[in-house]
């Protein structure tokens, strides 16, 4: 049950970022993805196309189906 709630929370964050709800996407671009994150280049994640890719990945992680027992 806890994993389901975590998955729902991550999926909701992905949707919020993807739709830029309450300027969440702009905030993340401004404060996180526009900066150098080690070896990752900051340019792609700060572009609108790159940010949509990353937000979609967050959404996909949140709705990953559970593996059968």
46, 33 contact by CB (below 8 A): yes
pTM assigned to the model: 0.67
Query: Smallest Cα–Cα separation from 58: which of 2, 1, 6?
Result: 6
Q: What is the pLDDT of residue 37?
A: 62
Examine the pLDDT at 69 and tell me if it is beyond 60. Answer: no
Q: What is the pLDDT of residue 68?
A: 58
**In the chain, what percentage of residues exceed pLDDT 90?**
0
User: Tens digit of pLDDT for each residue in 25-58?
Assistant: 888 888 877 776 666 666 777 788 878 887 888 8
């Amino acid at each position: 049950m806890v994993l389901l709630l975590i998955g729902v929370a991550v999926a909701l964050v992905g949707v919020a970022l993807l739709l830029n709800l309450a300027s969440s996407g702009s905030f993340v671009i401004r404060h996180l993805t526009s900066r150098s994150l080690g070896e990752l280049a900051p340019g792609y994640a700060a572009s609108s196309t790159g940010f949509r890719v990353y937000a979609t990945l967050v959404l996909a992680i949140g709705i990953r189906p559970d593996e059968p027992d």
